[in-house]
């Protein structure tokens, strides 16, 4: 478990609360259920990890192991399953949706 503190919270208070409850400090870039908890101003950069993850998943897979239909099913299920929760929770930018479609 971890806890996030505002920058306005004094360092001693942060340490005291975290030690009392036995939790660690959460960083701004941490993710929960695959999605970022905090979005910065550069929203395109925040979501690039999702596009990179899809590209990595497909590049690690070997095309010769499945038939044509098997490849089609694999690609469809992989591309739909990974961003599904994220797209239900957050409103993605159109540029990110276009990049996901182009993968």
In Å, how far from its chain's centre is CA 31?
Answer: 6
Does the pLDDT of residue 13 top 70, yes or no? yes
Q: What is the pLDDT of residue 63?
A: 59
Read off the pLDDT of each residue in 38-67 and give the average, rounded to a whole number.
71
Q: How many CB atoms lie within 10 A of CB 99?
A: 19
pTM of the model: 0.50
The structural domains of the chain, with segments of one domain joined by +, span 1-32, 34-103
Q: What is the pLDDT of residues 62-81, one digit of tens each?
A: 656 667 777 777 777 777 77
Q: Which helix (H) or strand (E) holds 85?
A: helix 84-89
Q: How far, in Å, CA of 103 to CA of 30, rounded?
A: 25
């Amino acid at each position: 478990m971890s806890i996030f503190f505002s920058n306005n919270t004094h360092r001693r208070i942060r340490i005291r609360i975290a030690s009392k409850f036995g939790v660690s400090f959460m960083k701004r870039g941490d993710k929960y259920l695959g999605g970022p908890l905090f979005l910065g101003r550069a929203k395109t950069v925040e979501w690039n990890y999702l596009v990179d993850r899809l590209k990595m998943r497909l590049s690690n897979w070997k095309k010769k192991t499945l038939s044509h239909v098997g490849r089609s099913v694999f690609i469809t299920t992989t591309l739909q399953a990974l961003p599904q929760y994220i797209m239900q929770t957050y409103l993605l930018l159109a540029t990110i949706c276009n990049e996901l479609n182009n993968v």
